[in-house]
Amino acid sequence: MARLSHGLLGALNLMTLLLSLPVVCAGVYFRMRAATECERALQLPVIAFGCALLLMFLLVVAVFALTVFTFVVTNRGAGGAVSGRGYQEYRLGDYSGWLQARIAEPETWRRVESCLSEARVCGGRPSDGAVGQDATEFYKRHLSPIQSGCCKPPTRCGFRYVNATFWAAPGSGLSAAAAGDADCRAWSNDMQVLCFECDACKAGVLETVKTKWKAVATVNIALLVLLVVVYTLGCCALRSNGGSRYFKDDGDADKI
């Protein structure tokens, strides 16, 4: 069904393009060949209509390409459930290579990290409600992807909860697996650091971006449907206008 709809949309776009070009060319041709200014002026609506169809074709192609691209780069990645936790955790490697490459750019991540710090997504103030909670209450919280990835160490690291922004390393030290995990080593109780350098933080940002991009893609689909309807009405109007002129000319010929 998806292939059929894409094929129909492609065929409609191609038909509109092929239809708009002759309309524009014919309007320009007759305007140049017109003997009077009045005749030239009468060709302007034809040229404008053809240009509008051509621009709409380009708009549909652009929106369609953007929508397909959005679904392609956001079709991977999802949170993983953690036993006994109300939140999920995210891994950078689960997301598309294109998104990983973009978020890994030093300048891009520097800006993102600055925004996270300024927005105080990890809280730390009494009014945030996290300070003063015990571990059981905290583990039941439904954290956002960014809070889960950036504001606490990954569960696999084995850190012990003290408060929302302070986690103690195990008394016996990190396990061999945790010691070899870059995210476990990157965690800091410094409010300006936390897990902002963790891949889990980047994954949380990508999960948020993915959700918002999919919402935009949904809007794009609605826009495509609207443009297709407008296309169809425009093509029908053009065909109807062409048929009316044909029969009118035929009737004039009979009179002669």
**pLDDT value at residue 40:** 43
**Closest to 143 (Cα-Cα) out of 81, 210, 76, 185:** 81
| Residues sharing a CB contact under 8 Å with residue 53, sequence separation 6 or more, in sequence order | 16, 19, 20, 23, 231, 234, 238
**pLDDT value at residue 229:** 77
Among 111-120, 124-133, 179-188, the minimum mean pLDDT is found in 124-133
**pLDDT value at residue 54:** 67
Beta bridge partners of 160: 168
pLDDT at 136 over 60: yes
**pLDDT value at residue 189:** 92
The C-alpha atoms of residue 122 and residue 128 are separated, in whole angstroms, by: 9
Beta bridge partners of 166: 163
Q: What share of the chain is helix, strand, coil (3-state, %, to 5)?
A: 70, 5, 25
**pLDDT value at residue 187:** 94
* Structure tokens belonging to residue 148: 């889960």
Helix (H, G, I), strand (E, B) or coil at 166: strand
**Closest to 164 (Cα-Cα) out of 87, 256, 241:** 87
Most confidently modeled range among 28-32, 87-91, 135-139, 240-244: 87-91
| Structural domain boundaries in the chain | 2-74+211-255, 82-206
What mean pLDDT is reported for the chain? 75
**Other CB atoms within 10 Å distance of the CB of residue 119:** 9
Q: pLDDT exceeding 70 applies to what percent of the chain?
A: 66
* 194 compared with 32, residue with greater pLDDT: 194
**pLDDT value at residue 42:** 43
Q: Residue 183: in which H helix or E strand, if any?
A: helix 182-186
pLDDT digits (tens, 9 = 90+) for 142-164: 899 999 999 999 999 999 999 88
